[in-house]
Structure 1
Amino acid sequence: MPKLVDHDERRAQIIDALLRAAAATGLHAVTMRSVAVEAGISVRLVQYYFDTKEQLLLATMERLAVRMGERVRERVRTAGASPAPREIVEAVLLEAVPTDEESRTFHLVYTEYAVLSVTDPALGGKAFLAAPDEMEAFLVAQLAAAQQAGGADPLLDARQEAVVLLAVSAGLGLSVLLGQRTAADAGAVLHYHLGRLFPDPGSGTGG
């Protein structure tokens, strides 16, 4: 009796192959053939699941978004049963810093995809912007919760601060990719900045 094919598993296999190829040569150099070689399958089989490279790239970004969400939740769980808004915000922002091989691949591929989407309408659009918009809204909610609980300055503009936080974390992540600073240094910068937004009432200075 022939073995039944798990189509979700096969799609994941192809996406993982693309990620490995992109981490080694850059997303711009990835082709359907190079993905097939990396996955150890035929080009025709890759095309059976993904008609075009654009479809494969979009599916890859969706998979990365899911995995990033899982990593954020793992970070939040390590903060305890009832993490404070600052701990949640810090966990989210630290995922923008490449700290291991998986997160390095994620940020490398995401950054390259963002650049490619500027000149390729098939890769951009509202779907690509949905995740950053959701992250911004999430941070706004956490900052507002901290303000209501007295853990952050009530005069702060939560939305503007959320935009700044995302810009800072993205810039730090890129600087780590480029080797300008270490992941530990980037984490220290984030920790310092969050100390200004969420001052420690016992210290009188924040941080």
Structure 2
Amino acid sequence: MTTKPDHEERRRQIAEALLRIAATDGLKSASMRAVATEAGVSLRLVQYYFTTKEGLLLDAFARLGTQLQARMQRWIGDARAPREVVTAILSSILPTDEESRRITRTYTAYYALVLDDPEVMGRTGAGQPDLLEGFLARQLRAAQESGGIDRERDAGMTAAGLLAMVNGLGSSVLGGQRDGRAALAVLTHHLDELFRPSAPGGRV
């Protein structure tokens, strides 16, 4: 008795093969044939599930975003206070373990692809960073309301700056300038400066 193929499992298997190649060799090395070899399937099967390489790239990118979101949720855990949530999210992004290094390297591979094809960012879902910035900004505003952050700060600009800093720290870890522990120390230093209880009237 034969069983029907699990199509979603096949798509996942192929997409994750592309992500592994992207993390180690970059997306320029992720030809359909190379992906088929990495996934242990035929080229014809890859072409059956993904008729174009762009379709495969977009599917894999969405799965990468899901992986990062799942990691953030695990790091947030039972955190409720704004600082706890902000710290958990930003810390989860830093490449401090094998999972986060893989995710960071893979996102870097996609960013490199965007440099060659700027229009691909719109197709890969450029709204993800904006959503994350917006979520962080809401956490910062909640901290302002409770007096944990100076009320005169621009929460949106601060959120954007924190994410830019974390992305830069991630690059410095991958480039060997510092290790994950040192990157976390830099992040903690800046969060300590940010989350200082404000005096009445919004002054620190």
TM-score after normalising by structure 1: 0.90
> Once the 2 structures are TM-superposed, how far is the Cα of residue 53 of structure 1 from its aligned partner?
1.4
> Once the 2 structures are TM-superposed, how far is the Cα of residue 108 of structure 1 from its aligned partner?
0.9
State whether residues 89 and 142 of structure 1, in contact with CA within 8 Å, keep that contact through their aligned partners in structure 2: yes
State whether residues 149 and 197 of structure 2, in contact with CA within 8 Å, keep that contact through their aligned partners in structure 1: no
State whether residues 143 and 149 of structure 2, in contact with CA within 8 Å, keep that contact through their aligned partners in structure 1: yes
Q: 1:3: which partner in 2? A: 3
Whole-angstrom CA distance in 2 between matches of 1:141 and 1:174? 26
Whole-angstrom CA distance in 2 between matches of 1:127 and 1:31? 18
State whether residues 54 and 122 of structure 1, in contact with CA within 8 Å, keep that contact through their aligned partners in structure 2: no
Inter-CA distance 61–176: structure 2 relative to 1 (3 Å threshold): same
Question: What SS class does the counterpart of residue 176 from structure 2 fall into?
Answer: coil
Quote the sequence identity (%). Answer: 49
Whole-angstrom CA distance in 2 between matches of 1:24 and 1:63? 17
Q: Specify the code of the residue in structure 1 equivalent to 2:5.
A: V
The root-mean-square deviation of aligned C-alpha atoms, in Å, is 1.6
1:139 equivalenced with 2:136 (yes/no): yes
Whole-angstrom CA distance in 2 between matches of 1:101 and 1:35? 22
> Once the 2 structures are TM-superposed, how far is the Cα of residue 121 of structure 1 from its aligned partner?
4.5
Structure 1, unpaired ranges of 5+ = 202-207
Structure 2, unpaired ranges of 5+ = 199-204
Q: 1:41: which partner in 2? A: 41
Q: 1:26: which partner in 2? A: 26
Q: 2:66: which partner in 1? A: 66
Q: 2:52: which partner in 1? A: 52
1:50-101 per-residue CA deviation (whole Å, 9 max, x = no partner) reads 1111111111110011111111110011xx3x52111111111112211222
Question: What SS class does the counterpart of residue 126 from structure 2 fall into?
Answer: helix
Whole-angstrom CA distance in 1 between matches of 2:193 and 2:152? 13
> Once the 2 structures are TM-superposed, how far is the Cα of residue 126 of structure 1 from its aligned partner?
6.1
Whole-angstrom CA distance in 1 between matches of 2:129 and 2:153? 21
Superposed, 1:92-171 pairs within 5 Å as 92-121=89-118, 123-125=120-122, 127-171=124-168
> Once the 2 structures are TM-superposed, how far is the Cα of residue 115 of structure 1 from its aligned partner?
2.0
Whole-angstrom CA distance in 2 between matches of 1:85 and 1:131? 20
1:18-77 per-residue CA deviation (whole Å, 9 max, x = no partner) reads 122223322221111111001110011011111111111111110011111111110011
